[in-house]
Amino acid sequence: MTRREAIAACHEVTVSYGSGSASVVALADVDLTIGRGESIALWGPSGSGKTTLLHVLGGLVSPTLGTVSWKGELLSSLDARARTRARARGIAYIFQSANLLPHFTAFENVAFAVDVSEAADRNRDPEELLSLVGLTAKLDALPAELSGGEAQRVAIARALGQRPELLLCDEPTGHLDSDTGERVLNLIDALHDELGFAFVTATHDADVAARFDRTLELSDGHVVDEQTAQW
Amino acid sequence: MVTAARLAAAGLARAPGKTLVRVLVLAASVALLGGMLLFVGNSLRTMSGSAVRGVPLDWQGPVGSFAQDKRVAADVARQPGVLQASPVATAPFAGAAHSAGGAITNAGKGSLLAVPPSYLDHIGTFRFLQGGFKRGGVVLDQQMAATLKARIGDKVALTPRAGAPPQRYAVSGVALVTAPDQLFQPLDPQLGPAPAQPPANVAIVDVATFAKRYAPALRTIAPANPGANVQPGAQNGVQWQVQAQLDPGPLSHGSPRAALKRADQTRNRVERSLPGQVQFVDNLSDELNTAAGDALYAETLYIMLALPGALVALGLAYLAALGTVDRDRRDISLLRARGAARRDLLALAWAESLAIGVVAGLLGAGVGLAAVELLVSGGAQLTVARALLTVGVCVLVATAGALAARLAASWSSLRGTVAEGRRKTQRERKPLWQRLYLDLIALGLSGLIYWLTARTGFSAVVNPDSNPTLSLSVYMFFAPALLWIGATLLLVRLRGSALAWVARRAAGGRATTMRGFMAVSAGRRGDAINRGLVIVALLLAFGVNLGIFSATYDQQARIDAQLTIGADVVATAPPGIVTKQDLPGKIASVSGVKSTTALDHSYAYVGPDLQDTYGVDPATFTKATSLRDSYFLGGTAKQIMSRLASTRDGILISKETITDFSLRPGDLLKLRVLDQRSGRFHVVPFHVAGVVQEFPSAPKDSFMVANLSYLQAADHSAGPNVVFAKTGGHASAVARRVTTATRADGTRVQSIDQQTAKTVSSITTVDLTGISHIEEAFVILLTAGAMALFVALAILERRQEFATMASLGAPLGRIGAFVWSEAGIVLGAGVVLAAGLGWLLSKMLVAMLTHVFDPPPDGLAVPWGFLAGLGGAALVATALATALATRRLRSLPLGEVLREQ
């Protein structure tokens, strides 16, 4: 296997909430390096720390201990404003429930992401991105008027609008039926192949995890296993 | 219920921030109500006290003889509630004379008052300027003393009736008779009080001496047949009477209505206990009756001005409850899913609202009390009963407000299915009032009532006699009330659809820029923005209405006060003193006095009507007081006054006289003028120079204004007896200095400030200053609070949206722009709506009360300072809240918020 250039990494990351006897450890001593264009599945049951690790990688949550880096920059030492800026330069999220901006249409959700993006190639047409995910007919629909699958495809188009180098997906098919989920995953796979971004997905579905280059198994905040796909 | 209480306590303790906001918002809302209650209670009590204390002589009961007078007075004095009862008599005298150094000085006819030595203990119809009572002596009114040039120790002769031998008395004192119109009024208990033309000369003697020496010279007026005495100024015999004064304490504790009831009950009890012996002419009840009318007017005004503010303030509680509506809805649905019945949930809401209501009510009552203590002169003068009532009402309203806000915010969860309650997006049905178009109906009715009021004059009216009592129709207040209701409902109905339309235009199609994103976001959040807009616009409208109406009211009250007393400062002096001591010049040299003028106030007959007559100097008059064009008919104030100045024998007369005597300007008018030298009326020719409706210090009905020089030549008076002064600053301070400067001249000085505070007419009775200060302070705080709440609510409602934006890499500045742009829209639109609605409401209220204002206002007075303060406070609160919100966004726990479902 060719060794890829590391784009993001976390080193001995521990995240805990609360203090004293009420303290909950969400992640414990996690090490992870993500290569450019690599696809990684974070697999484990609910509460194992998958989402927390995704949030740490994108700078949404600061680790209690350890370091997180993004393109060589120590994300964990930056303030909120700088972390936001770092995300604008190539980190995109797709959430379990799409998290579309409720007062923007599908078009405007994508356009907003394009507008705030500071990626080098940011001049992407929202309409084109939405046609890429097959939603040309729903440009002016508000999130409340979209089905779950459509909302998730808008979220994908929105993520693409950010021109990501690292796409972080949190159970992207968790709220979808199996057929729709399959179509969404195929779409992300195709885009990943075409655009070459690094791709980390949290999932509790072993079949979904099997589609990725690497799978990290998490349990109670610890990485308990790591498997690399043999293509 | 115990379980509900426990659950409620646990729920409130689990979310201390939310509980604190709800308590504070409700406390602020009910504090306004508490402050109002305390103010109104205090105000009504002050009105009662002022009315009771303002009556120098409460009861006058005519009796048939001195013996009966003494016996009945003693019986009345023993009655509970009666402070003093004295045997008194009044009688006429045909003339008086004083000889000194071989010269005899005469005075015309007058009236004699006979009182016991202890008379002045509690009755205040006169006060001594010099000397005092002495058995067998006489006390002269200062005017009579000046006319006779008599001093203490001199002997004066009083002639009881023409042809009777004069009686000589030694002068033992000089007094100022302050209530001659009541003392010498005809006494007919069936007719009630009929204040009479005060006699020109008054002397006071001891009642025992009077009974022995003077009374036998005249016939006695029988109490059962007062007809001989009903014509004011026509007393021709001895009027024995019991004069009594009630204990003012118990009468001053409640409203004028309660005081009136108590005073009537006391009089009935006293009359019943002395059957057939005495019936009283009740001056006190007459005054309290007027005060009760004024109190009704005051209460109505207070309600009209304050109630909308209190109700809108409660809307804030609803706004606060909306902050957690989604969470509450889901909690309710969860409890229902676990088996809680609707009844249990209602009990929980009750228990929670009661806990919040008690704390908020106590806090609100405390804040209301503090506001009244700080902002109202004289403070709250709290009694235990009033305190308990205020706390009770505050707790009750706070509890009801908390419950209503809670139920209104989560009603759909209680009514709908559990599954519906757990949904994020709720399906809503138009409420009944919207389907019935009650908002448009209310607005239409408001306009109709206003139109009918304006068209038919169906408005507040002041009785045309000199006693300014008010007749109010409650219906006329429906117009502004319905305007409030209709405008509020219409704003709620619009639900931001107008805003959405504007936003669509501003965005210009699909948004791709920050400006466009803000526009479409605001447009689609019309409902949420509209909630804030309704509260803020109504609070601001309340402030604008209150400010404009109060300013107009104050302006008119001041004009009315000036019209009543004549000028900023007025000095009344004994005859001859004004000219002799050059009072105009002396007063003009007092610091703060800008200019002065002297005028003569006397009386003259037009046909059979005795009218007040004013001799003025047109050259100086307008420099010392203000004349408005509306005071005159047929020309401006300047034109009419210069016409008077150019006509030596010119006279301005009232419209009523013009009509009654078919007169026209230029006509000859022969008046019977009192010749001060002879004490007799003689005919003097005048020419009508104009028509006057109002004039400084003149009564409201008929009066005349002539040139001072011509009038003086006709009545041979010793010169003017009044000086008007215009001040450049605080009239009351100038009045004190004028009093000091002219004390030796025996002047009585009044200021416009004292007059404004006096119970004289309806408009000056109701002092809006206190309630205006309270409401202005609250409206500023509440508007600032509403803006802060709106911003906080926007952050709370949109935290997941903002966290998502942050996850996309949107800078905090851009996220914050969504908050401040909406706050700006609410504030901007609120100011525009409030300016329109507030102005309209003020216009309506002032128009409806036009007849109360005397003279009617030329236009609305706009308190720019207060309005700027109100707008500034809202702006500062918005800026502060937005800045704090942006800071809060920086520390938003993104990971945690993005996990929320």
Greater confidence (B202 vs B226) lies with: B202
| Residue B761 per-residue DSSP state | S
Q: What is the pLDDT of residue B307?
A: 79
Separation between Cα atoms, residue B703 and residue B713, nearest integer Å: 19
* Mean of all residue pLDDT scores within chain B: 84
The long-range contacts involving B580-584, CB below 8 angstroms and separated by at least 24 positions, are B580/B718, B580/B719, B581/B742, B581/B745, B583/B723, B583/B742, B583/B745, B583/B747, B584/B620, B584/B723
- A44-70: average pLDDT: 91
Is the distance from CB of B523 to CB of B503 less than 8 angstroms?
yes
Q: What 3-state DSSP class applies to B400?
A: helix
Is the pLDDT assigned to residue B462 strictly greater than 50?
no
Separation between Cα atoms, residue B165 and residue B353, nearest integer Å: 86
Q: Could you tell me which of B57, B161, B166 has the C-alpha nearest to residue B111?
A: B161
Residue A213 Cα, gap to closest chain B Cα (Å): 25
Separation between Cα atoms, residue B803 and residue B805, nearest integer Å: 5
Q: What is the pLDDT of residue B672?
A: 87
Residue B810 Cα, gap to closest chain A Cα (Å): 5
Query: How many C-beta atoms surround the C-beta of residue B428 within 10 A?
Result: 8
Most confident range, picked from A167-181, B114-128, B778-792:
B114-128
Question: Which distant-in-sequence residues (6+ apart) come within 8 Å of B431 by Cβ?
Answer: none
Residue A123 pLDDT level (bands cut at 50, 70, 90) = low
Separation between Cα atoms, residue B89 and residue B68, nearest integer Å: 12
Greater confidence (B895 vs B462) lies with: B895
Q: Which residues of A touch B806 (CB under 8 A)?
A: 60, 84
Q: What is the pLDDT of residue A33?
A: 92
Is the pLDDT assigned to residue B277 strictly greater than 60?
yes
The residue of chain B nearest to residue A113, with distances taken between CA atoms, is B808
Residue B514 Cα, gap to closest chain A Cα (Å): 8
Crossing angle (nearest 10°) for helices B325-337 and B384-415? 70
Q: What 3-state DSSP class applies to B45?
A: helix
CB contact under 8 A, B804 and A81: no
Is the pLDDT assigned to residue A142 strictly greater than 90?
yes
Is the distance from CB of B673 to CB of B714 less than 8 angstroms?
yes
- B164-176: average pLDDT: 91
Q: Which residues of B touch A55 (CB under 8 A)?
A: 894-895, 898
Is the pLDDT assigned to residue A107 strictly greater than 50?
yes
The residue of chain A nearest to residue B423, with distances taken between CA atoms, is A144
Separation between Cα atoms, residue B876 and residue B883, nearest integer Å: 10
Separation between Cα atoms, residue B649 and residue B665, nearest integer Å: 13
Residue A55 Cα, gap to closest chain B Cα (Å): 6
CB contact under 8 A, A99 and B895: no
- B56-73: average pLDDT: 93
Q: What is the pLDDT of residue A188?
A: 84
Count of A-B CB contacts under 8 Å: 98
Is the pLDDT assigned to residue A128 strictly greater than 90?
no
Greater confidence (B76 vs B379) lies with: B76
Separation between Cα atoms, residue B337 and residue B331, nearest integer Å: 10
Integer CA distances (angstroms), B782 to B397, B536, B800, in order:
17, 9, 28
Tell me the residue type at B687.
H
- Kindly report, residue by residue over B232-268, the tens digit of the pLDDT: 456 778 999 999 999 988 888 788 888 999 999 999 9
Q: Which residues of A touch B519 (CB under 8 A)?
A: none
Residue B231 pLDDT level (bands cut at 50, 70, 90) = very low
Separation between Cα atoms, residue A26 and residue A9, nearest integer Å: 18
B512 touches chain A (CB under 8 A): yes
Is the pLDDT assigned to residue B76 strictly greater than 70?
yes
B730 touches chain A (CB under 8 A): no
**β-pairing verdict for A198-203 and A39-43:** parallel
For B770, the token pair is 């206190």
CB contact under 8 A, B808 and A92: yes
Residue B530 Cα, gap to closest chain A Cα (Å): 16
Residue B533 Cα, gap to closest chain A Cα (Å): 19
Q: What is the pLDDT of residue B407?
A: 79
CB contact under 8 A, A103 and B811: no
Q: What is the 3-state secondary structure (H, E, C) of chain A?
A: CCCCCEEEEEEEEEEEECCHHHCEEEEEEEEEEEECCCEEEEECCCCCCHHHHHHHHCCCCCCCEEEEEECCEEHHHCCHHHHHHHHHCCEEEECCCCCCCCCCCHHHHHHHHHHHCCCCCCCCCHHHHHHHCCCHHHCCCCHHHCCHHHHHHHHHHHHHHCCCCEEEEECCCCCCCHHHHHHHHHHHHHHHHHHCCEEEEEECCHHHHCCCCEEEEEECCEEEEEEECCC
Q: Could you tell me which of A104, A106, A84 has the C-alpha nearest to residue A158?
A: A106
* Mean of all residue pLDDT scores within chain A: 87
CB-neighbour burial class of residue B666 (10 A; exposed 0-12, middle 13-18, buried 19+)? exposed
DSSP state string for B612-674? EEEEE-HHHHHHHS---GGGEESS-HHHHHHHHHH-TTEEEEEHHHHHHTT--TT-EEEEEEE
The long-range contacts involving B678-682, CB below 8 angstroms and separated by at least 24 positions, are B678/B108, B679/B95, B679/B106, B679/B107, B679/B108, B679/B109, B679/B200, B680/B108, B681/B604, B681/B605
Q: Could you tell me which of B493, B474, B491, B487 has the C-alpha nearest to residue B443?
A: B487
CB contact under 8 A, A88 and B809: yes
State the DSSP H helix or E strand holding residue B751, giving kind and residue range, or none if neither: strand B748-751
For A209, the token pair is 């995890």
Peptide bond into B855 cis (omega under 30): yes
> Phi and psi for B118 in degrees, rounded to 5?
-90, 10
Is the distance from CB of B152 to CB of B131 less than 8 angstroms?
yes
CA B52 and chain centroid, separation: 17
Is the distance from CB of B783 to CB of B874 less than 8 angstroms?
yes
Nearest neighbour of B809 by CB, restricted to A84, A108, A142? A84
CB contact under 8 A, A102 and B811: no
Q: What is the pLDDT of residue B759?
A: 40
For A117, the token pair is 């993006």
Nearest neighbour of A162 by CB, restricted to B425, B520, B809? B809
Residue B825 Cα, gap to closest chain A Cα (Å): 17
Residue B224 pLDDT level (bands cut at 50, 70, 90) = low
CB contact under 8 A, A61 and B511: no
Is the distance from CB of A23 to CB of A134 less than 8 angstroms?
no
Q: What is the pTM of this model?
A: 0.75
Q: Give the CA-trace dihedral at A221, A225, A229, A230, to 10 degrees.
A: 170
Give start and end residues of each alpha helix (H) in B210-324. Answer: 248-251, 256-273, 283-322
Tell me the residue type at B159.
T
Separation between Cα atoms, residue B254 and residue B730, nearest integer Å: 33
The residue of chain B nearest to residue A144, with distances taken between CA atoms, is B425
Is the distance from CB of B848 to CB of B456 less than 8 angstroms?
no
The residue of chain A nearest to residue B896, with distances taken between CA atoms, is A61
Integer CA distances (angstroms), A123 to A68, A106, B428, B520, B823, in order:
29, 17, 40, 22, 32
Q: What is the pLDDT of residue A50?
A: 92
Tell me the residue type at B807.
S
Instruction: Report the range of poorest mean pLDDT among B1-5, B237-241, B390-394, B599-603.
Output: B1-5
Question: Which distant-in-sequence residues (6+ apart) come within 8 Å of B805 by Cβ?
Answer: A101, A112, A116, B814, B815
Integer CA distances (angstroms), B770 to A153, B296, B301, B547, B863, in order:
63, 17, 13, 13, 16
| ipTM reported for the complex, 2 dp | 0.92
Residue A91 pLDDT level (bands cut at 50, 70, 90) = very high
Q: Where are the beta strands (DSSP E) in B464-506?
A: 470-471
Nearest neighbour of B801 by CB, restricted to A84, A87, A101? A101
For B183, the token pair is 């003392």
Integer CA distances (angstroms), B118 to B87, B102, B247, B270, in order:
11, 36, 16, 22
Q: What is the pLDDT of residue B450?
A: 84
Q: Could you tell me which of A73, A55, B318 has the C-alpha nearest to residue A64?
A: A55
- Kindly report, residue by residue over B287-344, the tens digit of the pLDDT: 888 888 777 777 777 777 777 887 888 777 777 776 666 667 777 777 777 777 778 8
Separation between Cα atoms, residue B809 and residue A168, nearest integer Å: 14
B804, B815, B890, B896: best to mutate for the A interface, most A CBs within 10 A? B804
Give start and end residues of each alpha helix (H) in B15-56. Answer: 16-53
- A65-90: average pLDDT: 88
Q: What is the pLDDT of residue B413?
A: 65
- A208-218: average pLDDT: 89
Tell me the residue type at B771.
I
Residue B228 pLDDT level (bands cut at 50, 70, 90) = very low
B808, B889, B892, B897: best to mutate for the A interface, most A CBs within 10 A? B808
Residue A23 Cα, gap to closest chain B Cα (Å): 16
Separation between Cα atoms, residue B372 and residue B390, nearest integer Å: 12
Q: What is the pLDDT of residue B717?
A: 81
Residue A169 Cα, gap to closest chain B Cα (Å): 12
Is the distance from CB of B276 to CB of B305 less than 8 angstroms?
no
Q: What is the pLDDT of residue B423?
A: 54
- Kindly report, residue by residue over B685-721, the tens digit of the pLDDT: 999 999 998 899 888 778 899 999 999 898 888 788 8
Residue B412 pLDDT level (bands cut at 50, 70, 90) = low
B808 touches chain A (CB under 8 A): yes
Is the pLDDT assigned to residue B426 strictly greater than 70?
no
Separation between Cα atoms, residue B494 and residue A98, nearest integer Å: 31
> Phi and psi for B843 in degrees, rounded to 5?
-60, -45
Q: What is the pLDDT of residue B410?
A: 66
Q: What is the pLDDT of residue B74?
A: 95
- Kindly report, residue by residue over B714-760, the tens digit of the pLDDT: 888 878 889 999 998 788 889 999 988 888 887 888 888 776 655 44
Is the distance from CB of B703 to CB of B711 less than 8 angstroms?
no
CB contact under 8 A, B808 and A81: no
Is the distance from CB of B166 to CB of B131 less than 8 angstroms?
no
Q: Where are the beta strands (DSSP E) in B431-534?
A: 461-462, 470-471
Q: What is the pLDDT of residue B464?
A: 41
Nearest 5 degrees, angle CA B785-CA B789-CA B790?
120
B806 touches chain A (CB under 8 A): yes
Residue B225 pLDDT level (bands cut at 50, 70, 90) = low
Is the pLDDT assigned to residue B227 strictly greater than 50?
no
Is the distance from CB of A112 to CB of A124 less than 8 angstroms?
no
Is the pLDDT assigned to residue B18 strictly greater than 90?
no
% of chain B at pLDDT higher than 70: 91
Q: What is the pLDDT of residue B463?
A: 45
Separation between Cα atoms, residue B418 and residue A85, nearest integer Å: 42
- Kindly report, residue by residue over B787-811, the tens digit of the pLDDT: 888 888 888 888 889 999 999 999 9
Query: How many C-beta atoms surround the C-beta of residue B276 within 10 A?
Result: 7
Instruction: Report the range of poorest mean pLDDT among B23-32, B449-458, B582-591.
Output: B449-458
B520 touches chain A (CB under 8 A): yes
Nearest neighbour of B806 by CB, restricted to A84, A104, A142? A84
Nearest neighbour of A111 by CB, restricted to B512, B804, B898? B512
- A85-101: average pLDDT: 89
CB contact under 8 A, A61 and B805: no
B900 touches chain A (CB under 8 A): no
